[in-house]
Amino acid sequence: MATLLKSEKLEVSEEQHIVTVRQAVRRMSVEIKLSLVDQTKIITAASELARNLLIYGGGGEVVLELLREGVRQGVRVHFADEGPGIENIELALRDGYTSGGGMGLGLGGAKRLVNEFDLVSAPGKGTHITITRWK
């Protein structure tokens, strides 16, 4: 079982907050000494998901966690919104699929950048995404 060493909650309700999320994720990744490439990967994934949260979810909450599990440490980020939710998750994860005029790389791309990716969503129930990158 992973133990929680630290957590931080951020609100995402305007575009500036995407930058705040990126900076918070960077701080935590540096703290557990993730390699530069791994840092860049999770920050980029968080940036994509924070923007999704704002654009498709109408804003929401981001919770960052610093974890320890055995020898490894990791950064976990939860994204939660009360927006319209995702109808077809499989389709939403596919590259090139977009409902908002973007490039359609957000979800599938973010998934490839992290070690663990968990998505829970249903129409009208909002979307909850959790990503984790282990050292």
**How many CB atoms are located within 10 Å of the residue 23 CB?**
11
Residue among 7, 10, 12, 19 nearest 75 (CA): 7
19 near another protein, judged by CB under 8 A: yes
Of 4-12, 36-44, 59-67, 75-83: span binding another protein (CB under 8 A) = 36-44
113 near another protein, judged by CB under 8 A: yes
Name the DSSP class of 75: E
Distances (CA, A) of 120 to 1, 39, 57, 78, 117: 21, 25, 13, 11, 10
15 near another protein, judged by CB under 8 A: yes
Residues 6+ apart with CB under 8 A from 108: 93, 94, 95, 97
78 near another protein, judged by CB under 8 A: no
**Choice from 31, 95, 116, 118 touching another protein (CB under 8 A):** 95
37 near another protein, judged by CB under 8 A: yes
Which residues lie near another protein (CB under 8 A)?
A: 15-16, 18-19, 22-23, 26, 36-37, 39-41, 43-44, 47-48, 51, 70-71, 95, 102-103, 105-106, 108-110, 112-113
